[in-house]
Amino acid sequence: MAAKLTALIVDDEFHARENLRMILEDFCPQIEVVGSAGGVQEALKKVMELKPQVVFLDIRMPSGAEGFDFLDQTETLDFQVVFVTAFKDYAVQAFNANAIHYVLKPIDVDDLITAVNKLQAYQETFANTAESHPVYLESLRELTKTLRANRKSTKITIYHAKGFRMVDTAEILRLESEGTCTRFYLKDGSNLLDSKNLKVYEDLLDPEQFFRVHRSHIINLNELKEYLNSEGALAVLTDGSSVPIARAKLSTFLTMIKRF
């Protein structure tokens, strides 16, 4: 049995802290809550003292303080973060873009269990790849900038076998489904396999730039070099790769490329 993950809960509402603590104790035996904090400075102190492996962080506190302030003042990061938030819509898209764990208020037990399972599954990789911690902190700060500006992020975080990598969406050539996973092909010639399915990225990426031409393929329309219809419809990208275009998608595809 895997060791429990130690956790700190940060929220300026006492009842919110206690509610989350009780739910974790009742439904998430993988988590051991070692402390809680009601504000940014207390949280910074507790992190230094308790060295938790996970911080459950309220994203915006009713008193006016923000979980963002905690991240701004964190110089190094050797713990995973789960945002606990009432934000929805654009915020959820931002969380997904940066591959950040989150649960929505009011807390749904099943959602919390799912988040905790993901934390535990990734903990060994996270703990053993200290060189990736600055990238993770940068990803968190990119998220805070996105949410503060209430805008779509131009960066996404791709998890892969050795950690994760932040990628500007302009660097993506195409995405290809591999079972329940998605392989990213980038302009620098590299490719990365991410654990999320293609539908997640179809919903996440800018539909004006990325188009699902086939049930297994999404392409960056800015990287389209040529369209061929001699042996079935094909999209040829700037790296020379060819991607099939499904018959049902062809009309929409031809309409979209007229904009470029």
- Tens digit of each residue's pLDDT (9 = 90 or more) over 150-196: 655 577 888 777 778 888 888 999 999 999 899 999 999 999 998 88
Q: Which pLDDT belongs to residue 39?
A: 84
Please indicate, yes or no, if residue 157 is contained in any of the structural domains: no
d(C-alpha 82, C-alpha 64), whole Å: 20
pLDDT at 63 over 90: no
**Is 210 found in the same domain as 144?**
no
| Confidence category of residue 244, pLDDT binned at 50, 70, 90 | very high
Share of the chain above pLDDT 90, in %: 44
Q: What angle do CA 73, 74, 79 make, to 5 degrees?
A: 150
| Confidence category of residue 223, pLDDT binned at 50, 70, 90 | very high
**Is 118 found in the same domain as 185?**
no
Q: Which pLDDT belongs to residue 1?
A: 55
The full length of the chain comes to 260
**Is 144 found in the same domain as 34?**
yes
pLDDT at 80 over 70: yes
pLDDT at 61 over 50: no
| DSSP code of residue 60 | B
Closest CA to 2 of 121, 152, 177, 180: 121
Cβ atoms of 16 and 59 closer than 8 Å: no
Q: Per-residue pLDDT averaged across 37-45, rounded?
A: 90
pTM (predicted TM-score): 0.58
| Confidence category of residue 88, pLDDT binned at 50, 70, 90 | low
CATH of the domain at 183: 2.40.50.1020
pLDDT at 130 over 90: no
**Is 132 found in the same domain as 182?**
no
pLDDT at 21 over 90: yes
**Is 9 found in the same domain as 95?**
yes
Q: Which domain holds residue 17?
A: 5-149
